[in-house]
Amino acid sequence: MCGRYVAVSSPQVLAERFRVEEVRIGEREPDYNVTPRAEVPVVAVSRGHRTLDVVRWGLVPSWAKDPSIGDRLINARAEGIATKPAYRRAFARRRCIVPADGFYEWARVPGAKRKQPYFIRRRDGEPLAFAGLWEVWHDPALGDDAPRIRSCVIVTTGANEKLAPVHDRMPVVLPEDAWDRWLDPEFHDVDALRALLVPAPPDDFELWPVSTRVNSPRNNGPDLLAPETTGDAPPGAP
């Protein structure tokens, strides 16, 4: 799964990286510990052109009675997004990219109750393109004039060989040649879309242990990415 990630690239960097035609957000503070309910950048297609905007992390389906359901819908397993009620409408027409500069996963420490956090990023340092879905919700009790909440979920798949020793799931990281198909709301080939939801090549990634300070959402800053000497065997070691 992906429960925390890093979003530090500026809107200008993201716009260039993802070939965005309209930037709808201003300057943002770098976030080294993105948590659910945060307002996060997403790339989507609106009225035929690619946009960069912000939405809330934690999907609130249009049929939800209240937005609290989003706290449970931060990740969507790729295996069920075409059919599950919470995701199927968004999968059909509201697909997005969630840019990230890296993410955290926690590995079990043999013989101990604690878990060791790891920071994972692209080896070349470029932003990652998480596959995502987005939705729009308003309070049905307030009618059509109620404020809209736009929200997103990150799609996950089985981990690749590099990350499997840390966690058995990972975000779907879309290659650049898949962005057009994923973002196109008029592209409805379910089999072709499902074929994109696979683990990214292991050699694309690097990872290292970091401080357990990342466990608290109150902690934020570049120091969270500093390599930590743990004394434990690395993931996958005999």
Contact 75, 86 (CB under 8 A): no
Q: Which of 2, 96, 135, 228 is catalytic?
A: 2
Known active-site residue 105: yes
Catalogue the E-assigned strands of the chain.
5-7, 22-23, 31-34, 39-46, 49-57, 75-77, 95-100, 102-108, 115-122, 128-137, 149-158, 169-171, 205-209
Q: What distance in Å separates the CA atoms of residue 106 and residue 223, rounded to the nearest whole number?
A: 18
Kindly report the backbone phi and psi dihedral angles of residue 184, in degrees, each rounded to the nearest multiple of 5, phi listed first.
-70, 110
Report DSSP state, residue 214.
G
Contact 165, 236 (CB under 8 A): yes
Mention every residue, 6+ apart, whose C-beta is less than 8 A from residue 145. none
Q: Which of 76, 94, 74, 118 is nearest to 212 (CA)?
A: 118
Sign of CA dihedral 179, 180, 181, 182: positive
Q: What distance in Å separates the CA atoms of residue 13 and residue 127, rounded to the nearest whole number?
A: 9
Q: Which two tokens stand for residue 146?
A: 């109620």
Contact 55, 152 (CB under 8 A): yes
- Tell me the sheet residues that pair with 105: 118
Q: Which of 105, 135, 152, 228 is catalytic?
A: 105
Residues designated catalytic: 2, 105
